[in-house]
Chain A
Amino acid sequence: MLFPYLSLAIAMHQEVIDGRYEGLVHFSAYEQPLVLDIDHGGGGGAMRGSAVLPGLGVHGAHMEKIEVDGSKLAFTLQELGGISCSGRFENGHFLGTFIQSGNTANFDLKRIGPAQVDAPIKTPAAAFSPNLIGTWSGDFVFLYKRNLTVHISNVNGHGAATFVVKGKRTSTFNPDLILQTPHFVQLTDSPTGITIEAHPNSKSNTISARVTISGIESDVVLTRTKESK
Chain B
Amino acid sequence: MIFQALAFALTPAKMTEDSMFRGGPSHPGVSGSPAPRKITGVKWTFPTGDSIFGSPVSWHGAIYFGSSDGNLYSVDAQTGVQRWKAPTGAAVNSTPAVWNGKLYATSYDGRLYCLDADTGALQWKYFTNGERRFEAKGLHGMQPLRQTFADPMDMFLSSPSVSNGAVYFGSGDGNVYAVDAETGDLRWKFKTGDVVHASPAVAGGRVFVGSWDSFFYALDASTGKVVWKYQGGTDDFIHNQVGFQSSPSVTGNTVYVGCRDSNLYAFDAATGKPLWKSNNSGSWVNASPACAGETLYYATCDSKRFRAVIAKTGKDVFNVESKGLMMSSPVVAGDVIVYGTFNGFVEGRDAKSGEPLWNFRTKGSEANRGWVLKADGTFNSGLLGSKPFTPATFERQFTAGGVVSTPLVVEGTVFFGSLDGYLYAIG
Contacts and interface: CB of A to CB of B under 8 A. Distances in A.
B122 A184 contact: yes
Nearest to A119: B85
A199 interface: yes
B125 A59 contact: no
Interface stretch (A30-38, A95-103, A153-161): A30-38
B61 interface: no
A52 B70 CA distance: 13
A186 B421 CA distance: 29
Interface string B119-160: 001111111000000000000000000000000000000000
Contacts of B68: 57
Interface in A50-99: 52-60
A57 B50 contact: yes
Contact of A186 (B49, B122, B127): B122
Q: Is the interface of A mostly helix, strand, loop or mixed?
A: strand
Contact of B70 (A55, A57, A184): A57
Contact of A181 (B49, B82, B122): B122
A68 B183 CA distance: 49
Contacts, number: 78
A183 B124 contact: yes
A53 B420 CA distance: 11
A54 B367 CA distance: 13
A184 B69 contact: no
Contact of B85 (A30, A60, A124, A186): A60
Nearest to B50: A57
Contacts of A210: 127
Given A54-B421, A55-B420, A197 B125 contact: yes
A126 B127 CA distance: 24
Given A60-B85, A116-B81, A33 B421 contact: yes
A184 B47 contact: no
A58 B255 CA distance: 40
Nearest to B82: A116
A58 B69 contact: yes
Contacts of A22: 47
Interface in B52-111: 67-71, 81-82, 85, 87, 89
B215 interface: no
Contacts of B183: 183
Interface residues of B, number: 31
A53 B184 contact: no
Nearest to A52: B47
A56 B49 CA distance: 6
A30 B123 contact: no
Q: Which of A118, A181, A186, A210 has the most CB of B within 10 A?
A: A181
A121 interface: yes
B19 interface: no
A194 interface: no
Interface string B211-236: 00000000000000000000000000
A54 B47 contact: yes
B369 interface: yes
Contacts of A116: 81-82
A30 B126 CA distance: 41
B49 A52 contact: yes
Q: Which of A31, A33, A56 has the most CB of B within 10 A?
A: A33
B161 interface: no
Given A52-B47, A59-B67, A116-B81, A179 B184 contact: no
A121 B184 contact: no
A31 B51 contact: no
Contacts of B51: 55
Q: Which of A56, A59, A114 has the most CB of B within 10 A?
A: A59
Nearest to B130: A217
A35 B70 CA distance: 18
B184 A199 contact: yes
Contacts of B47: 22, 33, 35, 52, 54, 59
Interface string B332-362: 0000000000000000000000000000000
Contacts of B70: 57
B81 A59 contact: no
B48 interface: yes
B422 interface: yes
A33 B71 CA distance: 19
Given A58-B69, A59-B85, 7 more contacts: A55-B420, A58-B49, A59-B47, A121-B87, A181-B124, A183-B183, A210-B127
5 contacts: A31-B367, A33-B421, A179-B121, A183-B123, A199-B126
Interface of B: 47-51, 67-71, 81-82, 85, 87, 89, 121-127, 182-184, 363, 367, 369, 420-422
9 nearest A-B residue pairs (beta carbon): A54-B421, A59-B49, A184-B124, A183-B124, A58-B49, A57-B50, A52-B47, A35-B47, A59-B69
